[in-house]
Amino acid sequence: MPATFTKSALMLSLMLGLGQAQAASPSPTALAVSQGIPHPAVIAHRGASFDAPESTAAAYKLARDLGADYLEMDLQRSKDGVLFALHDNNLQRTTDVASKFPERKDSPANAFTMAELKTLDAGSWFNQAHPDRARPSYVGLKILTLDEIIDIAQSNPQHKPGLYIETKEPKQFPGIEHDLKEKLQDRGWLSPAGSKLAKSDLAVGQGKGKVVLQTFEKSSLELLQKEMPKVPKILLLWIGEGGMQPKSDVTFANSGEKDKAAYYAKQEPKDKAEFEQWVSYAKTQGAIGTGPSAALTNGGDQSYFDLVQPWMNQFTHDQGLLVHVYTIDEPVDFKKVLDSGVDGIFTNRASELLKYVKRPASGSVSQLLEANGY
């Protein structure tokens, strides 16, 4: 049963946690609360990216005003050293780079200065890809710097979400962990919270868990831990290159599966020990949890490996770690992963997940977008 982040839940959690501490690890709820992280945590993946173009102001303002606990982002660094949010390695899928910089359209985003990135339209692609959700106001939306996302997170007095920041392909950005620390420090996001916990789920961005750091890269986890030892960290889990060894080496091309989702759904870690080794590594390096993928009931391009089987979550909890699963958008899968024991969910549809965990937004998606001028 989903719990909300209320004072009574906190008291209950702490009591449960204390009760269990004598025998084993604290309960996952107590663990989350001790980190200032709501349970279950609602993590708006690239903002409210089902309803608005991912990683833009429209998506982040909507996620904030819906009441998501965290604004999730993939962090990159421009050619001139500015931190910004973008998921893909290059700009083709989500901008008009092909028309503005045709000769550089395949270049990585980090080959562009921030001034160049700011000339791109990061909204129109969404209207073409999703005509049912299109809005004229999305045309011309910009790529956002980390500074701009922090401004958004801080600017609704009714709800201050936290930041859930992934170092994306960090080997491309030597020193990005240090740059991130400096930025968060400058902006006051590393200063100790007044208390361990935010006063309520309206103020995650003011509590101990106001920033969560995430990465798929072991080396980046180690650097994040060195730079920001007190900030909660999550090791993202994956099967394949750079991740867990697979049980089968059959490639997608040779698998006979019709799409990647079907292929991923059948992939498993090499064995139990391989899964356990990754979780144990996360713990050893100071992570407070893992971020496993999930196979979605209806497939799709964000349906990956099922790394949230009950035994997996139980093992992770037994290590005293949390499980934040990516990326779930439908009630059938909210139920499935929460029943399997996860402690937080990355979602493109924060509005739906908030409804599911009985924390519905104060307005509809349309109302909140319109209130922000979209």
Which residues sit at the interface with ligand G3P, rule CB under 6 A? 45, 74, 87, 166, 214, 236, 291, 326-327, 346
Burial of 298 (0-12, 13-18, 19+ CB in 10 A): exposed
CB of 216 to ligand G3P, least distance (A): 7
145 binds, among ligand G3P, Ca ion, none (CB under 5 to 8 A by kind): none
169 binds Ca ion (CB under 5 A): no
Q: Minimal distance in Å, beta carbon 326 to ligand G3P?
A: 4
Binding status of residue 166 toward Ca ion by CB under 5 A: yes
Q: Which does 305 bind (CB under 5 to 8 A by kind): Ca ion, ligand G3P, none?
A: none
Q: Label the pairing between strands 162-167 and 322-325.
A: unpaired
- CA dist., res. 105 & res. 45, Å (int): 25
Strands 70-77 and 162-167: parallel
* Residue 326 binds which entry of ligand G3P, Ca ion, none, CB below 5-8 Å type-dependent: ligand G3P
74 binds Ca ion (CB under 5 A): yes
> Closest CB to Ca ion among 166 and 333?
166
Residue number of the CB atom closest to ligand G3P: 326
Residue placing its CB nearer to Ca ion in the complex, 10 or 287? 287
CB nearer to Ca ion: give 74 or 329. Answer: 74
- Judged by CB, which is closer to Ca ion: 121, or 166? 166
Beta-sheet pairing, 70-77 with 41-44: parallel
CA–CA distance, 176 with 217 (Å, rounded to integer): 13
* Residue 152 binding partner per list ligand G3P, Ca ion, none, with a CB distance cut-off of 5 to 8 Å that depends on partner kind: none
Mind giving me the DSSP string for 185-219? HHTTSSSPPSSSS-SSTT-GGGSTTSEEEEES-HH
Dig out the tokens for 102 from the structure: 């045709």
For the CB of residue 346, give the shortest distance to ligand G3P in the complex, in Å: 5
Cβ–Cβ < 8 Å for 305, 295: yes
Report residue 242 CA to chain centroid gap.
Answer: 19
Cα–Cα distance list, 192 to 148, 208, 261, 285, 322 (Å): 22, 7, 42, 22, 22
Residues 306 and 3: beta-carbon distance below 8 Å: no
CB of 46 to ligand G3P, least distance (A): 7
Pick between residue 76 and residue 214 the one whose CB is nearest to ligand G3P.
214
Q: Which residues pair with 214 in a beta bridge?
A: 166, 234
**Please, which residue, 46 or 208, has the CB nearer to Ca ion?**
46
State the Cα–Cα distance between residues 370 and 349, nearest whole angstrom. Answer: 17
**Closest approach of Ca ion to the CB of residue 245, in Å:** 23
Tokens matching residue 338: 């929460």
Residue 291 binds what, of Ca ion, ligand G3P, none (CB under 5 to 8 Å, by partner type)? ligand G3P
CB closer to Ca ion out of 116 and 166:
166
Nearer Cβ to ligand G3P, position 62 or 325? 325
The closest of 224, 220, 244 to 232, measured between CA atoms, is 224
Residue 347 interaction partner, one of Ca ion, ligand G3P, none, beta carbon < 5-8 Å per kind: none
d(CA 229, CA 92): 36
> Judged by CB under 5 A, how many residues of this single chain contact Ca ion?
2
Comparing C-alpha atoms, which of 203, 224, 227 is closest to residue 214?
224
- Minimum Å distance from CB 10 to ligand G3P? 26
Q: Which residue is nearest to Ca ion (CB)?
A: 166
In whole angstroms, the minimum distance from the beta carbon of 235 to Ca ion comes to 13
Give me the helices (H) in 169-309, please: 176-186, 218-227, 252-255, 260-266, 272-284
Candidate segments 160-168, 187-195, 238-246, 327-335, binder of Ca ion by CB under 5 A: 160-168
Point out which residues bind Ca ion (CB under 5 A).
74, 166
